[in-house]
Amino acid sequence: MPYLFTSESVSEGHPDKIADQISDALIDHFLAYDKDSKVACETLVTTGQVVLAGEVKSTAYLDVQVITREVINRIGYTKGEYMFNGDSCGVISAIHEQSPDINQGVDRKVEDESFESKASVQGAGDQGMMFGYATNETANYMPLALDLAHTILKELSAIRKEGKEITYLRPDAKSQVTIEYSDDHKPIRIDSIVLSTQHDDFASEQEMLHQIREDIKSILIPRVIAAQPASIQALFNDQIKYHINPTGKFVIGGPHGDTGLTGRKIIVDTYGGKGAHGGGAFSGKDPSKVDRSAAYATRHIAKNMVAAGIADEVLVQVSYAIGVAEPCGLFINTYGTSKLELSDGEIARKILNIFDLRPYAIEQSLKLRSPIYQETASYGHMGREPYIADKVFNKGTAHELILENLEFFTWEKLDRVEDIRQEFGLKNDESRDG
């Protein structure tokens, strides 16, 4: 019998995402000036206030107020009527030095500076399990409902920043997409779309609701559809149920309407409820924290496995003990979609022949000691397009730093497909490169 599956996304102006972006901006600045920084920082945002807290071991000194205000202004909180303004909000810092009890299990002195020595000595920054997931139902190997929910908000943000068509938009927004699937787990149609967007005040609520609903359906949704391949465009139809600003007025939003905290949108950040999640947030953590780095590594494995033709859908779990380099275990679930005459356990053992999941090895292979994290902190850490770009820190000041050719979203690269094919003896026509 057909079934429904739903995923949601939130915009860059959502309070929790503001907090994530500030935390990751701090991570980037620490890594830019000291690549060996160890950082775990949390952000709280509320009416007119930002509170920063966390633990740091670094030689870098940051002006956290300037960084925080730049992030808030870039998102679009630049007007007094928002009751949260990058130029006028208070910024309180309670960031302090990292506990040496925690650090000793991660940073151990080694006489041999070779890769193998470092990889064997650097332990995991915490215990826990991390998951990666991939499916071939979209071109970027992401679950369709989440991919569409992200796209809706990215297009809405682009319209807001263009300032030409829907001029009353404010930064805070949420979306939700429900897909109907067949018994064999193939998407049949889009059942419903929910969108709540913050907006300027209108003369009347009735006029407001009519205008917003018409603009979303006639301006935003056509842009979303145009961004999809033909197979996904076919899922849009006249029977979709739209719930646009279903509570009515949404003038008060952002941190004035709801307090935001780092790490409260971990399902939005990953797979929208598909697969699994180990529970650890990403933003505000340097790559020695396996909550972040191992989640990226398992996504990298899962995506390359699906692209190589191992299965239509793959879940990868890895687990660690704090201070220990070797993972406690690797689990793989192909959901019965494997193309191989091997059990999932046998597949997992062969995957360990290809991928080194020790924390230092993950950092090195995915280039995670680079300041690339603020870009991950809205619209999902997974399913993004890898790219190379320069990045400027403290522009126009005496401490200006330009880092060239940084690689972003390295865990999304399909660079291990051929290695997997060879390990499993697959022919080239048994895979989809995407």
Nearest to 64 by CA among 89, 83, 47: 89
314 and 418 share one domain: yes
233 and 356 share one domain: no
213 and 338 share one domain: no
Q: Is 42 annotated as a binding residue?
A: yes
**Percentage, residues of the chain above pLDDT 70:** 94
CA angle, residues 70, 38, 415, in degrees to nearest 5: 85
Segment 165-203, tens digit of pLDDT: 999 999 999 999 999 999 999 999 999 999 999 999 887
As a whole number of angstroms, the distance between CA 181 and CA 190 comes to: 9
Q: Is 16 annotated as a binding residue?
A: yes
Average the pLDDT over each of 104-108, 275-279, 357-361, 396-400 and give the range with the smallest value.
104-108
391 and 319 share one domain: yes
| pLDDT value of position 433 | 46
| pLDDT value of position 249 | 85
| pLDDT value of position 162 | 95
Q: What is the mean pLDDT of the chain?
A: 93
Q: Do the domain assignments include residue 72?
A: no
What value does the mean pLDDT take over residues 124-143? 95
| Spatial CB neighbours of 48, under 8 Å, sequence gap ≥ 6 | 83, 84, 85, 88, 89, 90, 256
291 and 421 share one domain: yes
Domain count along the chain: 2
Q: The CATH number of the domain where 316 resides is what?
A: 3.30.300.10
Q: Is 321 annotated as a binding residue?
A: no
Q: Do the domain assignments include residue 396?
A: yes
292 and 233 share one domain: no
Q: Which residue shows structure tokens 């197979």?
A: 231
Find how far residue 229's CA is from the centre of its chain: 23
As a whole number of angstroms, the distance between CA 341 and CA 3 comes to: 29
Q: Is 205 annotated as a binding residue?
A: no
| pLDDT value of position 124 | 86
**Percentage, residues of the chain above pLDDT 90:** 84
Q: Is 173 annotated as a binding residue?
A: yes
| Spatial CB neighbours of 403, under 8 Å, sequence gap ≥ 6 | 32, 370, 371, 390, 391, 392, 393
Q: Do the domain assignments include residue 246?
A: yes
Segment 252-270, tens digit of pLDDT: 898 998 999 999 999 999 9
Question: For residue 172, what are the domain limits?
Answer: 3-8+144-252
153 and 213 share one domain: yes
Q: Do the domain assignments include residue 330?
A: yes
Q: Do the domain assignments include residue 76?
A: no
104 has pLDDT over 60: no
| pLDDT value of position 115 | 67
What value does the mean pLDDT take over residues 45-61? 95
300 and 425 share one domain: yes
Q: Is 286 annotated as a binding residue?
A: no
Q: Is 174 annotated as a binding residue?
A: yes
107 has pLDDT over 90: no
What value does the mean pLDDT take over residues 17-33? 98
| pLDDT value of position 125 | 79
Q: Is 236 exposed, middle or buried (0-12, 13-18, 19+ CB in 10 A)?
A: middle
132 and 158 share one domain: no
| pLDDT value of position 357 | 96
Q: Do the domain assignments include residue 224?
A: yes
Q: Do the domain assignments include residue 247?
A: yes
434 has pLDDT over 60: no
What value does the mean pLDDT take over residues 349-365? 96
| pLDDT value of position 113 | 66
User: Higher confidence at residue 310 or residue 428?
Assistant: 310
298 and 247 share one domain: no
User: Higher confidence at residue 346 or residue 113?
Assistant: 346
| pLDDT value of position 247 | 87
153 and 244 share one domain: yes
What the block records as the tokens of 248 is 């009515």
Q: Is 55 annotated as a binding residue?
A: yes
323 and 420 share one domain: yes
Average the pLDDT over each of 93-102, 182-191, 278-287, 335-344 and give the range with the smallest value.
93-102
Q: Do the domain assignments include residue 417?
A: yes
Cross-strand pairs, 333: 315
Return the SS3 of 141.
Answer: coil
Q: Is 241 annotated as a binding residue?
A: no
| Spatial CB neighbours of 377, under 8 Å, sequence gap ≥ 6 | 17, 20, 21, 23, 24, 283
Q: Is 79 annotated as a binding residue?
A: no
DSSP string, 174-196: EEEEEEEE-TTS-EEEEEEEEEE
pTM for this predicted structure: 0.94
